[in-house]
Structure 1
Amino acid sequence: MKLPRRSLLAFGVALPALGLLPQAVPAAAALPTVDMEMVLKAAQWDPAKADSAVTPGAGPSVKLVETALRERGLLDPSYEDGHFGTRTVTAYAQWQRDLGYSGIDATGLPGRTSLTKLGAGQFTLTRVVTAGARTTHQGFPINERTLAMLRAAQGRSGRTYVVEQGSYSPGTDPTSAGTHDGGGALDIDAEALTAAQRTAAVTALRQVGFAAWLRTPAQGDWPLHIHAVAISDPDLSAPAQKQTGAYYEGRNGLAGNGADDGPHVPKVTYEEYLRSLQHRSPS
């Protein structure tokens, strides 16, 4: 005899146990998120610091990355602290090599693919940064993100810049010390510019997310030019990464680690610059 629903409840029989009602499937716990923008900033800035200070806003994301590296036996637990210092850079570079990468793809600066693979089952990515495809500009190699930044700076200054050296150019100029081996690096002719125009150009480049300085013959064996490195370009060479870290620390990016001699401009990435434009746009 089949008892009615009310009778079963009266006997304390659980309906789902009898297959009479669908059982709820427990929802899978959402994975924590890693902010790639902040991880990239920390990976450039933290190694240049004199201490183990955590880059503001980057600590939780960096620690998730460090935990994943530690669980793969690549990082000692004592460095699982949210500071993306030289030990974490070294560990991340080993992770990239474990994935089969080499050269500028294995410098310890996280890229989207390596971060995604590192976080499998542990975290997901937000605010992903990519260099974009490689292209050319004025005959020099460059990637899409750097070209967009250059055009944004030209728009701010109202002047078209003449490029003297592009990106992805290993061995082209020994005086560059490897900064142009990867993406994000540009040299711009400054000899035809007035002093005011040079300052305006460096200012505009910094405003859109470049670490940029005016280089003079007195500083090295080179003509007067503007050296610019796109902050947080995932393709930066190791020397270019060090220059962006020096920029964050208020230095000039040269071997002598002198004080920054450029215009005082808030330090931003290209993504932060774009968001500032959106905030200023009328609704």
Structure 2
Amino acid sequence: MKPLSSAAGLTAVVLLASLAGASGASAAPLPKPKALPSVNMEAVVKAAQIDPQRPDNTLTPGAKASVLLVEKALLDRHLLDKKWVDGYFGTTTIAAYAKYQKSLGYSGLGATGLPGKASLVKLGEGRFKVTHIITPGARVKVGAFVVNTRTQKMLDEAQRLLHRRLTLDQGSYNPGGDPTSAGTHDGGGVVDVDVKGMSAETRVSVARTLRRVGFAAWVRNPAQGDWPWHIHAAAISDTDLSGPAQHQIGAYYLGLNGLADHGPDDGPKVPIRTWEEYLRLH
């Protein structure tokens, strides 16, 4: 067979390239990957604090869609029965989420059933994306006590609004440090404020301001327990909260005082907001 001349060979190459281009142009475009639904972490964490303390099955406003996605993921991991996939982050869902956290190797504060960023993102792989993420941040010192950076920022803002420095009686991450605290200070987000030298009016003003920036805060007095006058403040939605502190937050949302007697909230009345909600408003 006679070989092609260089000109003929070039023509053949151009013809093949044209045919290939025409073939590619007629091919159907690949379908776009389906967008994943979103889980609002703020809403899920709020529900996980409030729902276990409710006397009924009322859903936390704005949380149902996100909680359902989390519960469906737990169902698929055989950690939650189908009947509990209802948008209500009650004690059964808390227990299922704690089992999931333990399956990832978490323990202690990392396995209380309160969703944290890492575990929630892991649960959502291929299922949902996580938005409105909450992180407690690194542990830092405030005076002689340890808190996390989220709590520190909240305290700093309260001090700015009050135009006064606040001194702590007790910080966070203090397991067993004060038996009268019933474990609320074992995790993050919880502090006691020293009120020595404050008038009754000033104590209430400090508690009100702490509530404004996202704490569940109460003025505690010696008649309520074996403790001196102080202000107890727990940062709402801190994902390092101990179990007892989570219960206090739920009680606060439900209009209670956060004590064992489940009495009515005796603190100053302000709209309940998290730190993240406060920041969006200011």
The answer on 1:54 being equivalent to 2:59 is: yes
- What's 2:4 paired with? none
* Alignment of structure 1 residues 66-105 onto 2, 5 Å: 66-105=71-110
**CA offsets, 1:233-253, max 9 Å, x none?**
000000000000000000000
Task: Map 1:109-258 onto structure 2 (within 5 A).
Answer: 109-258=114-263
The one-letter amino acid paired with 2:50 is: W
Percent identity, please: 56
Alpha carbons of structure 1 residues 65 and 221: separation in structure 2 relative to 1, 3 Å? same
- Aligned residue pairs total 264
Asked if the contact 1:163–1:186 (Cα under 8 Å) also holds between the matched residues in 2, the reply is: yes
**Contact 1:231–1:244 at 8 Å: present in 2 too?**
yes
The residue type equivalent to 2:129 in the other structure is T
Write the mapping of 1:239-278 to structure 2, written as runs, cut at 5 A. Answer: 239-277=244-282
**Structure 1 residues without counterparts, runs of 5 or longer:** 3-14, 278-283
Alpha-carbon separation, structure 1, partners of 2:256 and 2:83 = 29
1:41 and 1:76 mapped to 2: Cα distance?
22
Q: Deviations over 1:83-106 (max 9, x none)?
A: 100000000000000011111110
Deviation track 1:10-65 (CA, whole Å, cap 9, x = no partner) reads xxxxx999445353111000000000000010000111111111100000000000
Letter of the 2:187 counterpart: G
Question: Which residue type is aligned with residue 75 of structure 1?
Answer: L
Letter in 1 for 2:164: R
State the one-letter code of the partner of 2:254. E
**TM-score computed with the length of structure 2 as normaliser:** 0.91
Partners of 2:31 and 2:104 lie apart in 1 by 34
Offset at residue 130 of structure 1 (A): 0.3
Q: How big is the shift at 1:129? A: 0.4
Match of 1:240, as an amino acid? A
1:16/1:23 contact within 8 Å kept: no
CA deviation map 1:98-139 (0-9, x unaligned): 011111110000000000111111000000000011111011
Residue type of the alignment partner of 1:249: L
Provide Cα deviations, 1:184-237, integer angstroms capped at 9, x if missing partner. 000001132101110100000000000000010000000100000000000000
Deviation at 1:157, TM superposition (A): 1.5
Structure 1 runs (4+) greater than 6 angstroms displaced? none
Give the distance between the partners of 2:44 and 2:259, measured in 1 at CA: 24
Residue 154 of structure 1 deviates from its aligned partner by 1.1
Gaps of 5+ in 2: 1-11, 13-19
> What is the CA–CA distance in structure 1 between the aligned matches of 2:73 and 2:141, rounded to whole Å?
37
Give the 3-state SS of the residue equivalent to 2:268 in structure 1. coil
